[in-house]
Amino acid sequence: MSTSDRLIEATRELLWERGYVGTSPKAIQQQAGAGQGSMYHHFAGKPDLALAAIRRTAEELRGTAGRVLDTPGSAYERIAGYLLREREVLRGCPVGRLTMDPEVIASDALRAPVNETIAWLRGRLAEIVQEGLDRGEFERPLVPEDVAASIVATVQGGYVLARASGSTDAFDAAARGLLTLLAPRTETA
């Protein structure tokens, strides 16, 4: 792994763990096993390195979510796959957590990949809900964009509840609850 990649990976990990303010250049250098000269050779400064790390994290999240959402199956099965996929619940979402960092939110450049990723996810989920509506999988009228926003909010809120309680149970309950609400109705005799 190149020095540049080691610096980006160290920054990604520290941003997830400590946030932007808690991630110092010295901590990045120590975690990456790189000197100050190497860091400033590859990046203009902490904001430039943080942007590269946030972009990589966002790209990874889109790839992971895309692999689950683009699998064969019904809309409901694909949404369930996304909600129930394995994730590090107690660490929180590496992208979603950045929205709570005032320095990230205050910077248009740092906030952009976060916003783009959340918008991409909402858009992809809305497309899947629309596919389900078009195929008659969902029997009640749903607004795809609203359902997509609810799915993202459930996941992000589930992370918060799990971290607060120190248990994944709250996340799992939120995912199961949303799936119960979205479940296609079955006909009764």
Q: What is the pLDDT of residues 63-117, one digit of tens each?
A: 999 999 999 999 999 999 999 999 999 999 999 989 989 999 999 999 999 999 9
Q: Taking Cα atoms as reference points, which of 111, 123, 120 lies closest to residue 55?
A: 111
Which residue do the tokens 């990874």 mark?
60
Cβ distance 53 to 8 under 8 Å? yes
Where helices occur in the chain by DSSP H, the ranges are 3-18, 25-32, 36-42, 46-69, 75-84, 102-106, 108-134, 144-165, 169-182
Does pTM top 0.95 for this prediction?
no
Q: What is the pLDDT of residues 155-185, one digit of tens each?
A: 999 999 999 999 999 999 999 999 999 998 6
Q: How far is CA 42 from CA 6, 8, 18, 19, 37, in A?
A: 11, 10, 22, 21, 9
Q: Give the end-to-end CA distance of the chain in Å, rounded to a whole number.
A: 62
- Listed range (7-16, 29-38, 121-130, 171-180) with the worst mean pLDDT: 29-38
For residue 183, the 8-state DSSP code is S
Which tokens sit at 119? 């918008």
